[in-house]
Amino acid sequence: MKRNLIIFVVITTVISVTYAMGLIPTAATESVSKVLHHSVNPGTLSAAHANLGDNCQACHTPVMGVDTVKCIMCHANNESILQRQPTAFHASVGTCKECHQEHRGLDANLSEMDHSLLTSIGLKALEDAEPGSEEQAARIGLADKLKFANAPHERITLQESVLDCKSCHSNDDQHQGLFGNDCAQCHATDRWTIPEYKHPSTSSTDCNQCHQAPPSHYMMHFKMISAKVAGKPHARVEQCHQCHQTTSWNDIKRAGWYKHH
Ligand code: HEC
Ligand code: HEC
Ligand code: HEC
Ligand code: HEC
Ligand code: HEC
Ligand code: HEC
Ligand code: HEC
């Protein structure tokens, strides 16, 4: 499952090369700005960039259009994006404008996640893979999957489902690993909840198939406190249903809401 790793490593090289060449927005002349300005102004910039309103070439380069290098110049030091697992891909992604659309007015949301774009970027980066390399094998594998496989369910596209969700979302896993790493098998990319999902009833005795007890349940605490609070001195840890209900882990059978001291 090194797909993303391969994909994004390739892109990093491209960006650092552009950087090293010193592609800093040099004296892009006043006249360039004027030409751009008077051609078409597609709309007011976002509030965050409002002060760049007269400075079109802060983001644009004639002919090339929006210049990713210029975005990076101003934002390369944003530690908080780079350190959060889901946005760490910013370190090496080679394009910005698709997820950060501009000219939609002061109130517009400047950041919108587009998961399928990640797949296109990855595929594009793998296009030039050396024959016989690991990257080429990955590309062929992906291309085959996109041609012959089906989306795992109807709320996700096949294009999105080939992403390695856990590389960006393993910290969001609510299942303590019990459901495996293939999040796309059950989840879509717009929200984690699953509209058609119905939780098993409180009378189920299989709770431990899908839930893992907290570490305290495997320590003295369990016999000394948990079992006593629940009035079930002989229950074993894996018999969650003896003490718990489905409303909340703190809503203990017979004892009601358990408050921590
Ligand atoms: C903060 C960065 C930024 C500044 C400053 C900026 N733009 Fe843009 N502009 C963008 C982005 C990003 C897009 C493309 C994404 C989109 O569709 O919103 C874009 C798209 C455009 C387009 C559509 C064609 C294309 O290249 O995609 C035009 C024309 C344009 N801008 C003109 C201007 C003019 C004129 C100015 C100055 C008055 C300006 N822009 C200032 C970021 C900027
Ligand atoms: C001249 C410097 C400069 C350039 C060029 C620039 N930005 Fe910004 N950007 C800023 C500043 C300053 C802010 C507001 C403060 C902040 O949030 O860091 C900002 C804010 C943002 C935000 C956060 C908005 C929010 O909701 O708070 C995003 C996303 C962003 N820029 C993306 C881009 C992209 C994509 C480009 C290239 C099309 C770009 N920037 C070009 C300086 C720049
Ligand atoms: C595949 C979509 C995608 C691409 C491509 C992308 N970003 Fe982002 N970026 C996001 C999303 C989504 C967020 C908001 C994360 C959050 O706060 O939940 C974000 C956040 C940011 C922020 C911080 C905004 C804030 O709220 O502080 C900046 C700055 C930024 N991106 C700049 C860039 C730049 C520069 C590029 C190009 C090198 C880029 N992004 C490419 C999706 C993308
Ligand atoms: C390269 C990183 C990356 C990959 C791979 C990725 N995502 Fe995301 N995902 C993000 C970012 C960034 C956001 C925006 C919200 C944020 O910053 O946390 C997001 C948002 C989401 C959200 C919405 C969360 C919310 O609360 O609004 C869901 C659901 C989601 N992703 C599911 C998935 C699934 C399922 C996969 C695999 C098919 C996947 N993602 C693959 C980076 C990624
Ligand atoms: C076998 C199916 C399955 C797999 C695989 C799976 N999940 Fe879930 N997940 C569920 C179900 C069912 C729910 C409950 C949905 C609901 O309540 O609407 C859920 C709920 C969640 C929630 C909480 C939603 C909320 O806000 O209540 C998150 C976050 C989540 N899963 C993340 C992940 C991540 C990350 C992965 C991959 C590492 C993953 N899941 C793998 C089935 C799965
Ligand atoms: C077939 C799998 C499955 C079984 C069996 C199951 N659950 Fe769940 N349960 C889930 C999923 C998926 C979620 C939503 C993701 C999450 O929060 O862990 C969930 C959520 C919960 C929550 C909400 C957690 C929170 O933080 O909001 C509680 C409480 C809960 N279950 C208790 C139980 C109890 C008690 C039993 C047995 C009577 C049980 N579950 C049986 C799958 C299951
Ligand atoms: C003998 C009764 C009993 C059994 C069996 C039991 N628990 Fe608990 N559990 C409790 C009580 C009481 C609490 C609240 C106070 C505490 O931590 O002792 C609790 C707390 C929890 C919490 C909340 C911990 C926190 O820090 O918020 C979770 C999650 C939990 N149990 C999951 C499980 C799961 C999953 C199982 C089965 C694999 C299980 N429990 C089996 C009695 C039990």
Evaluate if residue 245 carries a pLDDT over 50. Answer: yes
Over residues 236-247, mean pLDDT: 96
Q: Which residue shows structure tokens 């007011």? A: 44
Asked whether the beta carbons of 36 and 62 are under 8 A apart, the reply is yes
Report the pLDDT value the prediction gives residue 12, as an integer from 0 to 100: 33
**Does this model's pTM top 0.85?**
yes
Q: Which atom of ligand 6 is nearest to the CA of 246?
A: 32
pLDDT reported for residue 173: 94
Residues with CB under 6 A from ligand 4: 4, 86-87, 89, 113, 115, 118, 160-161, 163-165, 167-169, 183-184, 187, 189, 191-192
Average pLDDT for the chain? 85
What's residue 125's pLDDT?
86
* Nearest to 243, CA basis, from 198, 214, 205: 205
What pLDDT digit, counting tens, does each position of 140-168 carry?
Answer: 999 999 999 999 999 999 999 999 999 99
Ligand 5 nearest atom to the CA of residue 177, by list position: 38
pLDDT recorded at residue 77: 87
Reported confidence tier of residue 261, pLDDT bands at 50, 70, 90? low
**What gap in Å lies between CA 58 and CA 224, rounded to an integer?**
65
Cα dihedral sign for 23, 24, 27, 33? positive
Q: Is the CB of 179 under 6 A from ligand 5?
A: yes
pLDDT band at 239 (very low <50, low <70, confident <90, very high): very high
Pocket test for ligand 3, best of 90, 167, 191 (most atoms within 8 A of CB): 90
In this structure, are residues 242 and 222 in contact, taking their beta carbons and an 8 Å threshold? no
| Closest ligand relative to 183 C-alpha | 5
- State whether the beta carbon of 252 lies less than 6 angstroms from ligand 6: no
State yes or no: pLDDT of 105 exceeds 70.
Answer: yes
Ligand 6 within 6 A of CB of 230: no
State the distance from the centre of ligand 1 to the C-alpha of 75, rounded, in angstroms: 17
- pLDDT value of position 33: 52
Nearest CA to ligand 6 atom 30: 246
| Gap from CA of 41 to ligand 2 centroid (Å) | 19
Q: Is the pLDDT of residue 28 over 50?
A: no
The pLDDT of 120-144, averaged and rounded, is: 91
Residue 78 has pLDDT above 70, yes or no: yes
Is a pLDDT exceeding 90 seen at residue 200? yes
| Ligand positioned closest to the Cα atom of 198 | 5
* Percentage of residues of the chain with pLDDT beyond 90: 72
Question: Which pLDDT score, from 0 to 100, does residue 19 have?
Answer: 34
Mean pLDDT of 3-18: 32
| pLDDT surpasses 60 at 27 | no
- How far apart are alpha carbons 107 and 44 in whole angstroms? 10
pLDDT confidence of residue 54: 86
